[in-house]
Structure formats: C-alpha cells, structure tokens
Structure 1
Amino acid sequence: MAILQHILGGGVSPTHCSTSFIPNPFLFGAEILNLSANLITNYSQEVPAQFNFNHGSSNVSNIDFCNITVSYTHPGQNDTINVEAWLPLNNYNGRMQAVGGGGYIAGRWLLSHYQMSAAIGEGYATITTDAGLGTETNPSNWGQISPGNVNLYLLQNLGSVSLNDQAVIGKSLINSFYGEPPKYSYFSGCSQGGRQGLILAQRYPDAYDGIAASAPAINWGEVLMAMYWPQMLMNVHKVYPHGCELDELTAAGIRHCDGDDGVVDGIIADPGSCQFDPFSVVGQSFNCSGTAMEISKGAAFIANATWSGPWSTKGKSLYPGPHIGSDLSGNGPMGQGLVETVCFNNGTCVGKPHELVTSWISLFVAKDPEYDLTSITHEDFYRLFRLSVQEYRHMGTNEPDMTEFFERGGKILGYHGLSDQMLPSRGGMRYYDDVTQISPDVHDYYRVFEVPGMSHCWEGEGGQPLTVFDALRDWVENGTVPDTLPISFKEKDGTRNDRIICPYPKRVTYDGKGSSTSAESFSCL
C-alpha cells in the first residue's frame, strides 16, 4: 500500500512510521533488541560542503521523514549496535545512501547527520551505524576488555562486520516501509568512511551498487604508525620546531615547485616530481609573529624525514609520507598536522601527537593505556610498526582483489588530496596500483581523482570536489564514465580558478597558452 501511494504521488502515510507497521529486520547471526520509529516533520538543515564529502553544500528545507533506529547484538560478543535510518515520506527517489564515519567513529555522529540531512533533501533513504562504539573520538572506553586484552569484537565491528549489517538492515527497513527494496544502493564516505567503502567492496560485494570512497584510511596498521614517525624523531633528537618554522619550510617548498606545471598559483600540481631540498634554505630568516627567526637544520631534518616517510632501522622504507606542500604544523584550516608542537613563553617546545595515533599505539599495539610514547627509540618504533601490521591485517583494507564486486557491475569513485597531511595520497595510489595488477581493466570500475593542493577530505588551496557522488550515480545507472571532474578555488588575491581534476594515473596538464583560470586550458594526460 505504501509503495502504491508513492507511485501515485501521495507519498507514504505518516501512520506507517510506527513499530506496528515496521517489522524487525532479519539479520543472520544477530539478535534484534529494539526497533523505534519516530516521525520528524518540517525538518530543515544547512549543510556546508566541507561536512558533506563527495557532495556539495545543501539547503534542506521542510522534509518529513521517519527516523527508525534498530538496536541489535551479536550473541556472545557483548555488543550493542545501533543502525539509524531516515526514510523520507514525500520525496523518496527509490535509492538508498549509506554514510560513513571518521577516526574511531563508525558513524551516527554529527558529520553523519549533516550528510544524512543532505541525502534526504535529495530524496534518498539514508542510513548510518555506530558499530556499537558510540561517538567518542578516543577509543579508551571500548578498546580493551581487560588490561592487556584488546576488544577484538568491537574492533571487528568497526573494521567490517557492522558495515554489512548496516546494508542488510537498511534494505530491510526500506522494503518494509516503501513496499519494495531500493532500486540502487550507494555508500559515501571519506577517511574512515573511505576505508569503510573499500572494505565493503572487498568483503561484501553485493552490499552496494556504487561506492564513493575518498581519502581512505587503508593500510590501517601501517598508516597509523607512520603518522607517529615525526613525533618519534623529534623526541629522539630533542628537536621540536616552531609551527611557523615548519610553515616557512612548507612555503619554501611550494615556491620552489609551484611553477613546474606552467602556472604560478600557490599549488604544486605534481608534488611527486617536486625536487625541493629543505636543507637549501637552512639559515634563511623569516618573520614568526613579529619575531625574526632563522630556519634551523633540525627543522629541515624533521620536515625532510616527514616527507620521506618512516624507514626501518636498516633504512628500508616502511610507508610513504605526505607530499611537500602538506600542512606539517597543524596551523592550516583543518588544524591538524603530523609535526604539531606546543611552544611556551620561554621558547621551548614539545611534540603534540595526534590522539588518533597515540590511542592506537598504546591501546591496540602496546596494549598498555599508560605506555610512554615519548621515550620510544627508533628500534622500538620499528618493532611496534611490525606488530601493528602483523596483528591487525584484518583492519588493513588493502586486499587488491575486488573482482566479484566489479563483475556485479559495481563502481567505486573517490578523490584524494595531494596535500593530504594525515593519510598520504601515495599510500592510496599504491593500493590502486595493486588493484591494477589483479584487474588490468580496473579503470572501467574504479577511479580515484587526485586533487592538487587539497588537504585531508576537505580544505586546502586547491578546492574540494563537489560532484563525486553525482558522477558515481551517473556511472552506475547510465554508464556515463567520469573522465574528468570539475573543481573551483580562489587564490589568496581572490582570483577564481575553474579547473578539472583527473583520474589516477593521469595528471591535470596546462596547455601553456590559455587562461589558467579556465578549465578549458587543462586536460588529463
């Protein structure tokens, strides 16, 4: 009856937003604990683009929807997971859009609700899961079941299991509410959400038709340890550069390589080919908040080591670092950097590692919440690095064989900022190369667009892609292949630039003669 009303243009009756109308979904291996349904009317929300990864900004107004929350457990695992679904009454477009999380949060948090707001505004039935973890950014409340013992069930929920559960439950609720399953199912996320999208394609190939997975936190065991590399080096060498000193080194690197693409715009278009030696500017003076300073050899060493990425005690590269041009100090718009320091009035500084990293090493690798990270040596770091990779391969999300997902017609589309300071784009492209070895025709199913000057998921000098999800849907439903995507940004003087971004391994290339502010002057080569 509900779907008949929808077809006739009358929408779904508000009376159907009731537990008496919506049965508990069936989920193999789980026990449903509770189902609640609440009618939300005249819902409005302004959604900024930076909180709506893979999409643009959205102004949602006067939407009526049914908010359904399903609580369940995996018997014997002592977990309680909540899946939240928003099902629009009047503008349903026949499609499901699941949204991902960030950091240690699987979903069902502030950013999820921004993204879900935009989704229902466009007519999608939208879902999110908390994986049983809540919304705390620090995993100390759930990471261990007892001293020295990791809560592997909850980590497994974050890593993979709850994500397929989310898809199964979402489709069941949609079928019950509208009278038929969704025509197409999509997933959208960045960072942790990007990793979630890729693990779904790798392990649950029938969960979604299209996945927007940007700046994915794959190679989990490696990348989290790699993020601590510069902090360890600062502690070992007792060198803690001022943030403004790191900013000056970053600016010097950009100045050195900015014009390599034929356009001087404050952006390194191809940072992988940037040949900048930070030691070449040691001793140069600069202004730091009104104080004259000189770039030190120690700061150049830390910056260079960060860009290079961690290496073993025998000099073997362990993981790529962020590109030259990435925010090292955390003084940029995102407020995050791998070489953050805190400086005091007496001129001394100390390291300020990211909580995401310190939590991982102490709770999950060393398995000691009181573990002193400030005293670890290079040898300790290498040992912990290997443990992180060996013990948590199930979190790695770097299985290159996605053949089954591709054979079903599934599509993956995403972006990665070339100035991503948290999850280096080189790690993501290395994975893409691995997938290519398994599936030489990968470009027919999976494309990643590199974004010059962009930071982690959003912000940066090079703009933010706003049409990724729309291009994904067009690819899935109409076979329209996304060869380029549009992007716009403003330079510091206010000049607007309209450009394109290109799917890896192609590079955006200036024709050398047209206006550098016009997309028509650029192509993918």
Structure 2
Amino acid sequence: MTSRTRLLAIPAMLVLTAAVTAGPAAATASVPACAGLAQLKIPASVMSLPTSGGRVTAASVMTSVVSGKTIRYCQVDADLYPVDPAAPAIKMRVDLPDGWNHKALMFGGGGFNGTIPDPASNVPFGPGDQPVPLARGYATFASDSGHQQNPASPPSLDGSFGMNDEALKNFAAGDALKKTRDASLFLIRRAYAATPGEVFFAGGSTGGREALNVAQRWPTAFDGVISAFPAWNNLAEILDLGYLAQVLSRPGAFPGVDKQGLLYTSVVNACDGLDGVKDGVISNPAGCHFDPRALRCPGGVDAGPACLSDAQIGAVQAMSSPFRWPYRVASGETEYPGFPFLSGADMRTPFLGFGTTAPANPMPVTSGYGLQYWDQWVKYFLTRDPNQNSLAVDPRHPGKWLSRISALSTIEDRNNADLGPFARAGGKLILLHGAADELVSPYSTSDYYERVRHVVGPRATDAFLRYYVVPGANHANFGTPAFAAGWDSLTALEHWVEGGRPPVNPVVADLTHLRTRPLCAYPSWPRYRGGDPDQASSFACTR
C-alpha cells in the first residue's frame, strides 16, 4: 500500500470486520467473493457525506469478451439511499474482475447523467490498441449521480431531477461522487479482503467536471485523475448557451446543415496549411483568423446554401465570441469564452453544435445538444416550472431569476483553481481537450489551466499537472471528427503516480485515419517539419 493510499483507508476495525465477516471462503488477493456480496448492507458510516446507507441489489458472476479478451468478473449493483425520502437513490455498479490488479478506477458521466456509465468502457480519448481498464484487471465503478433518466428523454438530456435539492447537489455539486467512491471501496474491500493500492478517476464533459471536482473537494480521495473536455464552469456555459438559443431562434438566423458544411469547408480551406501540411486538421487554431463575412450573400439576404445571410453571420460570430453578462454571480465567473466554430469545428456532425433545427418553444429534439440542455436547465433548475418557455429567459437580463442564477453558480461552477492540496497529497492530473470541440469550449479549459498555474505556481503545477489540446479532435470523438483522438492516458497516469515518471513526448493516434501526431503540452502545437505526414515523428511541438 502506498503512503498516499493510507490516507484513504478506513479505520482498522472496519477493515478487520470486513475481512473476518467474509469468512474462510473469502476472496483471495485477486478473485472476488461475489456470492457474499448479494443483498449486503452498505452502512451509512462508510460514507463521509450524509446518506441513509445502502444495499447491494444484485451480485452476479459474468463472463464477457472485453477488448478482445474473455474475462470473468463479479458485477455488483447497489442503491445508496438519500436523506430526503423524496429524493431518488444513487444507483451504482461495481465490476470486480478475477485477476484483480489491486487498483480501482471510477468513471464519470455525461450531460445530465441519469444512467450508470458502463464500467467495462474506456477512459475518454482512450487508445484503440490497448485493453480497457476492466480488462487490465482494474476494479471499476460508476453511478448515475443520484437520479434516473426518463427513458423517453434523449440520452443525458433529462433535467427533471433538478426539482429536488438533494438530487441537485448529488449531481451538480458532485456529492454523489464521494458517496459512490466510498461505497465502492467498501464493496471492493469486502470482495477481495484488501484495499486498492491506487484509486483513479476518469471522465469527459460532465465527467470531466466531475474529475476536477474530486480533485478540488476531496484531494486525498483519488491518486490520479484524467479530466477530458471538462464542463467545469457549468453555470457560465449554460448562460452562454441560453444567449445562443435566443440568437439562433431569431428569424433567418439559423444556418442549416448545408450552410454549416459550407462554413466548415471554408474554415479548413483557409487555415489547414498554416501548420505546414494540408491534412484536414488545423493544428494551430490561434493562428486561424477566418472571417465569416467572406461567405456573405449579396446584399446580406439569404440566397441559398452557397452563402450566409447577415443574420446567419451574426449567429456564427455570436457562437465563436466570448459571452459576458452585466451582473455578478456568487461563483465569481464573468464570462464564457465562446466556441471554436471558426477554428475547424466539425460541421459534418452538427447535432452537438448548431443542431439541424432552429431552437423554438417547445425545444425540438433536433436542435443542438447544448440548446436542449439550456431548455432543461431553465425548466427544472432555474424556474422549476416544466411549462416555462426557456427562450423567454434572457441570460443578459434575467430579472427576477438573478438571485437563483447566482445561487446555482455556487453549485455548478466547480472553479476552485487551488489544486495545491491535491498536489501535496501526491495526486496527478492529466487534462485533455479537443481543439475543435463544439460543445465544451477548449478555451474554457485553457482558462482553468492558467488559473491553476497562477494560484499554485508554474513549477508546482508542472509537478502534478499536464494539459494537452488535441488538434482536430471534437467532443468525445462524436460523429466524424477530423482527428479521432486515442491515447493511453491511463498507463501514463500509472507511471506518474506509481513511479514518479511524468509523460514524456506522448503520441496521440487518429483512430479513424490511422495516423499519429505528437501530443503537445499546452500552449504548444504540432508543426510539420517534413517526412511522412501520417507519422508523429514528422512534426515538432512548437509555440
């Protein structure tokens, strides 16, 4: 057990009780005692945040092919009961493999959550040529963050749980993360009669915010964290999404799919070669200064798919510009930096960004994901009125809703940049974002990284944090990105946590186009220097 893990261990009496209760048929060091977990009570005392305890609802031995490998594991489902009887339970799952490697990994969720992430899945932007964590021998676990999605809702877009304060805190403030972690480690100890040597967290988008949240709030709970495209300033982004919903709902302002494709192609044609090679990837977005007015229709009037009207140009400019609000919120945030639509975002997959339909009331399911997210947030988080027209709430002038917005900001903006306690406890953090992300702005993650460097100090930050921006990568490799990122961040994190070896000259693969690029630490980007453009060795990280 590492010195850091000793900080995580429960009191010795509880460990002894767990081992003794398991009896002579208890697990060996690597095979879980699955049968002994069925209907097991999870005491409220093993969780550091208030619950009413919990219980295992099912424990079954499973045999599955995972990452091309047949593995045997114990799948454990459990409910963690709320304090408020009106709040939903936290539903969680733990997968306990034979051949346990004495490590554990928690997965974060996405969107509004509401379903349990698959513990047999991969880390965000994970490699295509390496086993997923469960197949590597990790005990893996995740939860629905304390509410269950309506099956009739689009995936991860049901915000109705926000009507309940405990459910809201479980999700937005991240309380469910610590409750799930504590309960899962209790079950792992009961199954193997041993404590994990290391405990990691990996998540993207909402899961990326959750990853930063655990490092901020519980600096000794996880040894290493992978945070990808994190929506850390959730309230700030929501205000921007609300403003964009209003802009795109104006008559004639919404650019249809053909016009989105026109914009995408025009941006790539203008900026693709700035890194030294034309390969469909804009490696230096900061150097791309495409002006959408170059696509203006004659007279600014919509003349079909080959040009943009003045109203559509205004909408594109609004989406790619910072949004600032003229009032204070309690979290201290003042703006959201906008989205990289003029820096090579993949307009071929418009669902996440613009969508295929203009926002309206009621909000179409074919509108952009972020616009639907805003609609659910207004109905269930802000006004708590399911009949509220979200387009009637103006984020620039919220009127009577200002105090509620400010209160929500303290829950949803997980913006504590002082990661010193996490670093001093030995924690390591890998931060990733795609430069063409159309749902969570990479500029926002860069802002958070700079804040950490300012608060903690550049040298101290370099000792525990690496931040990489992947050119051409979009949100979670959705659809057909210009660069479908794949990197073995988990092995890199293991080497750093266990051996003190930070990532050195990492290489990221494009899982779709079978090519590689150097994974450059921010603010560097890969410049072509000659040779095979499909090989990382042909590029050099530069500023």
| Structure 2 length-normalised TM | 0.81
In the alignment, what sits opposite 2:4? none
Question: Aligned pair 1:252/2:259, yes or no?
Answer: no
Aligned residue runs from structure 1 range 411-430, under 5 A: 411-430=428-447
Q: Any stretches of 5+ residues in structure 1 without a counterpart?
A: 46-57, 145-150, 344-349
Q: Which amino acid aligns with 1:67?
A: Q
Question: Aligned pair 1:468/2:489, yes or no?
Answer: yes
CA contact (8 A) 2:26 2:33 kept: no
Structure 1 Cα separation of the partners of residues 401 and 281 of structure 2? 35
* Cα deviations by residue, 1:269-318 (Å, 9 ceiling, x for unpaired): 1212311111022138xxx9xx864332322221122111324479x982
Structure 2 Cα separation of the partners of residues 382 and 326 of structure 1? 36
In the alignment, what sits opposite 2:187? 173
- What SS is found at the alignment partner of 2:214? helix
Q: Give the 3 Å change call, closer, same or farther, for CA 437–366 of structure 1 in structure 2.
A: same
Question: Aligned pair 1:499/2:521, yes or no?
Answer: no
What is the Cα deviation at residue 437 of structure 1? 0.8
Q: Give the 3 Å change call, closer, same or farther, for CA 252–133 of structure 1 in structure 2.
A: same
Structure 2 Cα separation of the partners of residues 386 and 226 of structure 1? 18
Q: Which amino acid aligns with 2:538?
A: S
Query: Which has the larger strand fraction?
Result: 1
- What SS is found at the alignment partner of 1:82? strand
In the alignment, what sits opposite 2:47? 27
- What SS is found at the alignment partner of 1:305? helix
* Cα deviations by residue, 1:421-453 (Å, 9 ceiling, x for unpaired): 000000011011111111112121111210111
* Cα deviations by residue, 1:394-444 (Å, 9 ceiling, x for unpaired): 221111011111101101113100100000000011011111111112121
CA contact (8 A) 1:199 1:397 kept: yes
- What SS is found at the alignment partner of 1:34? strand
What is the Cα deviation at residue 505 of structure 1? 2.3
Q: Give the 3 Å change call, closer, same or farther, for CA 298–43 of structure 1 in structure 2.
A: same
Structure 1 Cα separation of the partners of residues 508 and 526 of structure 2? 12
Question: Aligned pair 1:44/2:65, yes or no?
Answer: yes
Q: Give the 3 Å change call, closer, same or farther, for CA 328–224 of structure 1 in structure 2.
A: farther
Q: Give the 3 Å change call, closer, same or farther, for CA 383–30 of structure 1 in structure 2.
A: closer
Q: Any stretches of 5+ residues in structure 2 without a counterpart?
A: 1-22, 124-130, 151-155, 328-332, 360-365
What is the Cα deviation at residue 362 of structure 1? 2.6
Structure 1 Cα separation of the partners of residues 401 and 249 of structure 2? 16
CA contact (8 A) 1:322 1:424 kept: yes
Q: Give the 3 Å change call, closer, same or farther, for CA 75–500 of structure 1 in structure 2.
A: same
Question: Aligned pair 1:93/2:101, yes or no?
Answer: yes
CA contact (8 A) 1:234 1:351 kept: no
Q: Give the 3 Å change call, closer, same or farther, for CA 328–104 of structure 1 in structure 2.
A: same
Aligned residue runs from structure 1 range 363-382, under 5 A: 363-375=380-392, 379-380=396-397
- What SS is found at the alignment partner of 2:351? coil
How many percent identity over aligned positions? 22
Q: Give the 3 Å change call, closer, same or farther, for CA 13–168 of structure 1 in structure 2.
A: closer
In the alignment, what sits opposite 2:526? 508
Structure 2 Cα separation of the partners of residues 240 and 500 of structure 1? 37
Structure 2 Cα separation of the partners of residues 69 and 360 of structure 1? 29
Q: Which amino acid aligns with 2:464?
A: Y
| Structure 1 length-normalised TM | 0.83
From 326, 338, 347, give the equivalent of 1:321.
338
What is the Cα deviation at residue 42 of structure 1? 1.9
Structure 1 Cα separation of the partners of residues 91 and 99 of structure 2? 25
Q: Which amino acid aligns with 1:448?
A: Y
In the alignment, what sits opposite 1:338? 354
Greater shift in the superposed pair: 25-34 or 274-283: 25-34
Structure 1 Cα separation of the partners of residues 41 and 51 of structure 2? 21
Q: Which amino acid aligns with 1:477?
A: E
CA contact (8 A) 1:100 1:189 kept: yes
Structure 1 Cα separation of the partners of residues 41 and 310 of structure 2? 69
Q: Which amino acid aligns with 1:6?
A: T
CA contact (8 A) 1:337 1:421 kept: yes
- What SS is found at the alignment partner of 2:519? strand
Structure 2 Cα separation of the partners of residues 387 and 234 of structure 1? 25
What is the Cα deviation at residue 517 of structure 1? 2.1
Question: Aligned pair 1:126/2:132, yes or no?
Answer: no
Structure 2 Cα separation of the partners of residues 305 and 24 of structure 1? 48
CA contact (8 A) 2:515 2:535 kept: yes
Structure 2 Cα separation of the partners of residues 363 and 82 of structure 1? 21
- What SS is found at the alignment partner of 1:516? coil
Q: Which amino acid aligns with 2:475?
A: H
Question: Aligned pair 1:456/2:475, yes or no?
Answer: yes
Question: Aligned pair 1:67/2:80, yes or no?
Answer: no
Structure 1 Cα separation of the partners of residues 33 and 426 of structure 2? 35
* Cα deviations by residue, 1:360-400 (Å, 9 ceiling, x for unpaired): 12322233322223345574469868853553222211110
Q: Give the 3 Å change call, closer, same or farther, for CA 20–201 of structure 1 in structure 2.
A: closer
In the alignment, what sits opposite 2:203? 189
Q: Which amino acid aligns with 1:502?
A: C
Structure 1 Cα separation of the partners of residues 399 and 286 of structure 2? 25
Q: Give the 3 Å change call, closer, same or farther, for CA 213–246 of structure 1 in structure 2.
A: same
Q: Give the 3 Å change call, closer, same or farther, for CA 257–467 of structure 1 in structure 2.
A: same
RMSD (CA atoms):
3.3
Q: Which amino acid aligns with 1:296?
A: S
Q: Which amino acid aligns with 2:221?
A: A
From 488, 498, 508, give the equivalent of 1:477.
498
**After TM superposition, which residue ranges in structure 1, 4 or more long, deviate above 6 angstroms?**
1-5, 20-25, 381-386
* Cα deviations by residue, 1:25-51 (Å, 9 ceiling, x for unpaired): 722432224223422232234xxxxxx
- What SS is found at the alignment partner of 1:457? helix
In the alignment, what sits opposite 1:347? none
CA contact (8 A) 1:241 1:298 kept: no
Question: Aligned pair 1:163/2:177, yes or no?
Answer: yes
Q: Give the 3 Å change call, closer, same or farther, for CA 481–2 of structure 1 in structure 2.
A: farther
Q: Give the 3 Å change call, closer, same or farther, for CA 264–85 of structure 1 in structure 2.
A: same
In the alignment, what sits opposite 1:143? 162
From 65, 85, 90, give the equivalent of 1:81.
90
CA contact (8 A) 1:235 1:375 kept: no
What is the Cα deviation at residue 181 of structure 1? 0.4
Q: Give the 3 Å change call, closer, same or farther, for CA 257–428 of structure 1 in structure 2.
A: same
CA contact (8 A) 1:3 1:180 kept: no
Q: Give the 3 Å change call, closer, same or farther, for CA 66–429 of structure 1 in structure 2.
A: same
- What SS is found at the alignment partner of 2:28? helix
Q: Which amino acid aligns with 1:30?
A: T
What is the Cα deviation at residue 177 of structure 1? 1.4
